Amino acid sequence: MNRPAFGVFYGVGVGPGDPELITRKAERILNEVDWIFLPAGGNNGSFVRRIVEPLGLPTAKFRPVSLCMSRDRSEDTNAYRLAANEIAKELHQGKSVAWLTEGDPLFYSTFLNLYDEIGRDPRIHMEIVPGVTSASAAAARAGVTVARLHERVAVVPAVYGIERLPAYLEEFTTVFLLKVNSVFDQLLAIIPALGPRVRAIYVEQVGTTSERVVTDLQSLRGQKLPYFSLVILRREEHQP
Amino acid sequence: MNRPAFGVFYGVGVGPGDPELITRKAERILNEVDWIFLPAGGNNGSFVRRIVEPLGLPTAKFRPVSLCMSRDRSEDTNAYRLAANEIAKELHQGKSVAWLTEGDPLFYSTFLNLYDEIGRDPRIHMEIVPGVTSASAAAARAGVTVARLHERVAVVPAVYGIERLPAYLEEFTTVFLLKVNSVFDQLLAIIPALGPRVRAIYVEQVGTTSERVVTDLQSLRGQKLPYFSLVILRREEHQP
């Protein structure tokens, strides 16, 4: 009789793209919940839906929600509020709901907006199922060490942090630059100034059939790069 | 007839502790490989072995390797070299080998030492299976947002970075302080100086039955803390 009157709300991370990088927990929760909400279309929606395709979940369980994902935060906030209302309605009726997100739910994810909205009702129990991040997956595909022992790591959305790159690489051995597509030419201009000890590797759409790992970043000049792209910068130390 | 003459060497991350956070890929690879090497005993060995217990892998497949995990790097380097030789011997005979590691293989893991050693032989193909990090899992259990949109994240081993904490929290919204056990009193002394907008949450042994999440860090003063412990520091912004 421990069953709460309200359904549980799950933030489920399904990893960066490869369906095999879904955890056993995410798989179980997605099978158990009554509803699976997710963004409809756009960069995130169709992508995350494709990740869970091989799990063979019943189509009727999916509840795509229209989000515009624009830079204009106010429109997004509105869309998330509507989604949160729809989800809350189900939770109030004792239904369990998962919000499906690529990567990890707390790491640059669509889930965070719902987390805030739904978290306002203290009666609702929320559980987060962590996932493999695109950063981890990109490093794995590129074969780049992220951190050993004493090393520090920074994760920086390129749009807001690219000018600080040289300073960051003084303090941090590895820097992940996320969403590099819109500032890539600026990045190309900065890289030579980082010196020969800094390696740069570009990874796009990691874990999908369109995956690409490029070590000669200059060769990408002028190309239109996708939204799911990142650059790993690593300062190589002398080996013992 | 595409089978390579040499076996493949896999770095397999099995996540932070909860066996359900193992990915489907890690599970498949561990079932497929001929040998599963892992550290014997110590902080890491018995821990990582326990994570994969529920997979029911045959005991005869496991090859525990003695590593001292001391601060004296030279002893460790020697132990890893011996382990690498043993692994290479199997790979040369066409056997596939996995190195088992908690969390993610490229993120502060025992795998990195073998990666360097075995990577010296260019004939050997290596593949890395990324895993959920203890950082992601700790944030999930603590319910702390790691990063949204424009926010930056830093990961810092406490032993080497604690004095830079106030500066880091100016630039980074979230800072993960790893391995806080040995410098915890020092950390307690710094926290008040970070101001009221910085939340600090202590998480130990995430995903295990001994897991503990503590928000009042001062209450931990004088306690002996375990090796697998971290603190999440987050600078709260004003909500829109």
How close, in Å, is residue B33 to chain A by CA atoms? 17
> Measured in Å, how far apart are chain A's first and last C-alpha atoms?
60
Contact between B106 and A160 using a beta-carbon 8 Å cutoff: no
- Tell whether B115 and B147 lie within a shared domain: no
Mutate to test the interface with B, among A72, A74, A101, A104 (most CBs of B within 10 A): A104
Sign of CA pseudo-dihedral A184, A190, A195, A198: negative
Q: Is B8 helix (H, G, I), strand (E, B) or coil?
A: coil
Position A2 in a domain: no
Give the total number of structural domains in chain B: 2
Give the Cα separation of A159 and A181 in Å (integer). Answer: 9
Mutate to test the interface with A, among B27, B73, B109, B136 (most CBs of A within 10 A): B136
Give strand ranges (E) for chain A.
9-13, 35-40, 62-66, 97-101, 126-129, 153-157, 174-178, 198-204, 212-214, 229-235
Tell me whether A142 touches chain B (CB under 8 Å): no
Q: A94: how many CB neighbours lie within 10 A of its CB?
A: 13
Give the Cα separation of B97 and A230 in Å (integer). Answer: 30
Contact call for residues A68 and A79 (beta carbons, < 8 A): yes
Q: Does the model's pTM come out above 0.95?
A: no
Sign of CA pseudo-dihedral A133, A24, B233, A87: positive
How close, in Å, is residue B15 to chain A by CA atoms? 9
Tell me whether B18 touches chain A (CB under 8 Å): yes
* B227 CB-near residues (< 8 Å, 6+ apart): B43, B179, B181
- Tell whether B141 and B122 lie within a shared domain: no
Beta bridge partners of B231: B177, B202
Instruction: Classify residue A77 as left (phi > 0), alpha (psi -120 to 50) or beta.
Output: alpha
What is the pLDDT, as a whole number, of residue B171?
A: 94
What is the pLDDT, as a whole number, of residue B73?
A: 59
CATH of the domain at A43: 3.40.1010.10
B contact residues 187-226, partner A, Cβ 8 Å cutoff: none
Q: Is A76 helix (H, G, I), strand (E, B) or coil?
A: helix
What residues of B are in contact with residue A25 (Cβ under 8 Å)? 18, 20-21
The domain of B55 spans 9-129
Q: Tens digit of pLDDT per residue, chain B (240 long)? A: 455 589 999 999 999 999 999 999 999 999 999 999 998 866 666 889 999 999 999 999 999 988 765 555 566 778 888 899 999 999 999 999 999 999 999 999 989 989 989 989 999 999 999 999 999 999 999 999 999 989 999 999 988 778 899 999 999 999 999 999 989 999 999 999 898 999 999 999 998 889 999 999 999 998 999 988 999 999 987 544
Position B222 in a domain: yes
Tell me whether A42 touches chain B (CB under 8 Å): no
Final residue of a structural domain among A111, A129, A147: A129
CATH of the domain at B199: 3.30.950.10
Tell me whether A62 touches chain B (CB under 8 Å): no
Position A1 in a domain: no
* A143 CB-near residues (< 8 Å, 6+ apart): B126, B128
Q: Residue B151, CB half-sphere, CA atoms under 13 Å: how many? A: 20
Tell me whether B65 touches chain A (CB under 8 Å): no
Contact call for residues B152 and B169 (beta carbons, < 8 A): no
Tell me whether A19 touches chain B (CB under 8 Å): yes
Tell me whether A134 touches chain B (CB under 8 Å): no
Q: B28: how many CB neighbours lie within 10 A of its CB?
A: 12
Read off the tokens for A112: 């965070």
Closest chain B residue to the Cα of A105, Cα to Cα: B140
Tell me whether A102 touches chain B (CB under 8 Å): no
For residue B32, the surrounding DSSP H or E stretch is: helix B24-32
What is the pLDDT, as a whole number, of residue A1?
A: 46
What is the pLDDT, as a whole number, of residue A159?
A: 84
Maximum distance among all Cα pairs of chain A, rounded to whole angstroms: 64
Nearest 5°: phi and psi at A165?
A: -55, -50
- Tell whether B119 and B182 lie within a shared domain: no
Final residue of a structural domain among A109, A129, A149: A129
Chains A–B, number of C-beta pairs less than 8 Å apart: 154
Q: B59: how many CB neighbours lie within 10 A of its CB?
A: 6
- Tell whether B17 and B123 lie within a shared domain: yes
Tell me whether B107 touches chain A (CB under 8 Å): yes
Position B4 in a domain: no
- Tell whether B47 and B138 lie within a shared domain: no
Instruction: Scan for tokens 């929290």, then name that residue.
Output: B169
Position A36 in a domain: yes
Where b means 16+ CB within 10 Å and e means fewer, A75-87 reads ebeebbeebbeeb
Contact call for residues B72 and B98 (beta carbons, < 8 A): no
- Tell whether B211 and B182 lie within a shared domain: yes
Q: B40: how many CB neighbours lie within 10 A of its CB?
A: 16
Give the Cα separation of A124 and A118 in Å (integer). Answer: 8
- Tell whether B117 and B158 lie within a shared domain: no
Position A98 in a domain: yes
Nearest 5°: phi and psi at A93?
A: -90, 10
Position A4 in a domain: no
- Tell whether A103 and A56 lie within a shared domain: yes
- Tell whether A59 and A16 lie within a shared domain: yes
Q: Tens digit of pLDDT per residue, chain A (240 long)? A: 455 589 999 999 999 999 999 999 999 999 999 999 998 866 566 889 999 999 999 999 999 988 765 555 566 778 888 899 999 999 999 999 999 999 999 999 989 989 989 989 999 999 999 999 999 999 999 999 999 989 999 999 988 778 899 999 999 999 999 999 989 999 999 999 898 999 999 999 998 889 999 999 999 998 999 988 999 999 987 554
Mutate to test the interface with A, among B141, B146, B182 (most CBs of A within 10 A): B146
Beta bridge partners of B101: B13
Final residue of a structural domain among B129, B150, B166: B129
Confirm whether the ipTM is greater than 0.90. yes
Summarize pLDDT for A56-108 with one digit per residue, the tens.
Answer: 999 999 999 887 655 555 667 788 888 999 999 999 999 999 999 999 999 99
- Tell whether A84 and A28 lie within a shared domain: yes
Position B240 in a domain: no
- Tell whether B64 and B158 lie within a shared domain: no
In terms of C-beta density within 10 A (0-12 exposed, 13-18 middle, 19 or more buried), how is residue B133 classed?
Answer: buried
- Tell whether B122 and B151 lie within a shared domain: no
